[in-house]
Amino acid sequence: MSKLITIEEAASYVKDGMTIMYGGFLGCGSAVKVIEAIAKRGVKDLTLIGNDTAYPNKAIGMLIANKQVKKLYASHIGTNADTIQQFNEKTLDIEFCPQGTLAERIRCGGAGLGGVLTKTGLGTIVEEGKQKVMVDGEEYLLEKPLHADVALIGASICDTMGNCIYKGTTQNFNPMMAAAADIVIVETKELVEVGQIPMESVHTPGIYVNYIVK
């Protein structure tokens, strides 16, 4: 069965109240066209998991500008004034995660692990409300796994089975997010036939991918 769908079909999988992971760093490596279609659909009360919220009304920032997001897990928001304003107005709940911790929490979600132990955040507001674990006399924070209903992935090259390559820094969060969601939608810049991507070059195996948008 073909995994190819339209942008509009991809957007239709996102419903009110869902948790969405989105790859990319300041929009680079994001599924921008699918995000734009989701913004137009007007779904609401979304929980987003990603490194940042890009720029005002750009990429994932479109959902922030439309006030379609109720909660956000992110490493920083400094490039998006809309996110900052909503956070200050307390209309957007944000859990700040150190970048490496965020990546590990997503990886744990995909690998079926119970969490990751890290010293990052000890003695800061990051530790508030979190369990601490002692290992060989050393104290660690237990950071719990993250999982999503839908992951929106931005690939550089994808074949018709969903095997993906991410060029340059677009690799960022995309591979681990593809393993940590119930539905994985890939928006690819280039679509090729099976066999055109060398096996050893695949970053995300097609087994993780449900749908593909060109």
CATH of residue 101: 3.40.1080.10
In a domain, 121, yes or no: no
Strands 19-22 and 148-159, by their bridges, are parallel
Range of the domain at 72: 7-112+147-213
Does residue 70 belong to any structural domain of this protein? Answer: yes
Residue 141 lies in a domain: no
Whether 100 is covered by a domain: the verdict is yes
Report whether 164 contacts 158 (CB < 8 A): yes
Termini Cα distance of the chain: 17
Going by C-beta distance under 8 Å and a sequence separation of 6 or more, which residues neighbour residue 65? 39, 56, 57, 82
d(CA 186, CA 45): 23
Residue 120 belongs to some domain of the structure: no
- Digit-coded pLDDT (tens) for 68-101: 999 999 999 999 999 999 999 999 999 999 999 9
Q: Which two tokens stand for residue 168?
A: 């340059």
pLDDT at residue 1 in the model: 80
Record the pTM: 0.94
In a domain, 142, yes or no: no
Q: Kindly state whether residue 190 falls inside one of the protein's structural domains.
A: yes
For the chain, how many structural domains are there in total?
1
Determine the Cα–Cα distance for residues 26 and 4; give it in Å rounded to an integer.
26
Burial of 209 (0-12, 13-18, 19+ CB in 10 A): buried
d(CA 27, CA 75): 14
Is 125 part of any domain? no
Say which amino acid occupies 21: M
The list of the chain residues with pLDDT below 50 reads none
Q: Which two tokens stand for residue 145?
A: 């796994």
Question: Could you tell me how many helices (H) and strands (E) the chain has, helices first?
Answer: 6, 11
Q: Which residues pair with 152 in a beta bridge?
A: 22, 185
State the Cα–Cα distance between residues 187 and 154, nearest whole angstrom. 5
